Structure 1
């Protein structure tokens, strides 16, 4: 999937199902060091290719986070071989490559111990024109990591992966 050999993510929309499947493994990472962040970039201009998974090396685990659709996230463990080339659906014009610690602010959290991990949900309100009622939708959005005095989250930005270095008021954070 996504031009990555042997990558078969399962996408989640429900926080409880996600925590049931991944909660124990995520909890086991607490106390481990966040060693590296791997992201895909276009080789010619260095542009971050946010459509591809983001890989966090934490302790001895490789956490692979992906956002592919508006309201879904996927986490896999140790499936992606960073030595393999990313072949974006056979597009010969793209020259994508994995880069280590290439996003801004990595020095704030690389090599530091994870103190807390959170599952992040986003709420969105919509007005139903038929009955003028406000409905709230809750979407599974991402993962947050407290690392000493720093915070880093990886999250779905409507079908791509983004990063944030602070908590947002309009999001719901659930500690794993």
Structure 2
């Protein structure tokens, strides 16, 4: 179970040339040794895996010429969640009347904030604070 565990590390794929988050890459959240890996692609696909990625290994984006590394501590809102205990995990289903209808995000609820990893049109997006009311929440017991 993840609930009750502390977020001990959050890693994003970082583009060294752009000095920016490479939002096509995985988001890794480590909860006291249980690592959750999330990535969105296309307009309606999400992959959630557990403990399959070794962030000690170098990143290779299929020979595309990107210089990518794992980076901790960005953005600041995500880094601020480290050390907090996870209270809940939610699947958030977008119910808005737009092209994102039915898209699924993953929300992590902490005592002082929450983060949702969502599909930002073929890449990951990240939002903090209360989730938009157009999401239908499905609480998970993980």
TM-score normalised per structure 2: 0.89
Instruction: Name which one, 1 or 2, has greater alpha-carbon Rg.
Output: 1
**2:92 alignment counterpart:** 120
Question: Partners of 2:76 and 2:102 in 1: how far apart?
Answer: 26
Question: Partners of 1:39 and 1:107 in 2: how far apart?
Answer: 11
**2:111 alignment counterpart:** 148
Alignment check: 8 A CA contact 1:72 1:139 kept: no
**1:24 alignment counterpart:** none
How many Å apart are 1:138 and its aligned residue? 4.2
Alignment check: 8 A CA contact 1:67 1:159 kept: yes
**Mean Cα displacement is larger for which, 150-159 or 137-146?**
137-146
Question: Partners of 2:5 and 2:57 in 1: how far apart?
Answer: 26
- Is the aligned partner of 1:161 residue 2:124? yes
How many Å apart are 1:56 and its aligned residue? 0.3
How many Å apart are 1:102 and its aligned residue? 1.8
TM-score normalised per structure 1: 0.73
**1:19 alignment counterpart:** none
Question: Partners of 1:81 and 1:108 in 2: how far apart?
Answer: 23
Larger relative helix fraction? 1
Q: Cα 1:89–1:107, aligned 2, differ >3 Å: closer, same or farther? A: closer
Question: Partners of 1:109 and 1:84 in 2: how far apart?
Answer: 25
How many Å apart are 1:65 and its aligned residue? 0.2
Question: Partners of 2:57 and 2:74 in 1: how far apart?
Answer: 18
**2:134 alignment counterpart:** 170
Alignment check: 8 A CA contact 1:108 1:150 kept: no
Question: Partners of 2:138 and 2:25 in 1: how far apart?
Answer: 25
Displacement over 2 Å in runs of 4+ = 123-126
How many positions carry a matched residue from both structures?
A: 139
Query: Which blocks of at least 5 consecutive residues in structure 2 are unaligned?
Result: none
- Is the aligned partner of 1:86 residue 2:59? yes
- Correspondence list, 1:8-47, <5 A: 28-47=1-20
Alignment check: 8 A CA contact 2:118 2:124 kept: yes
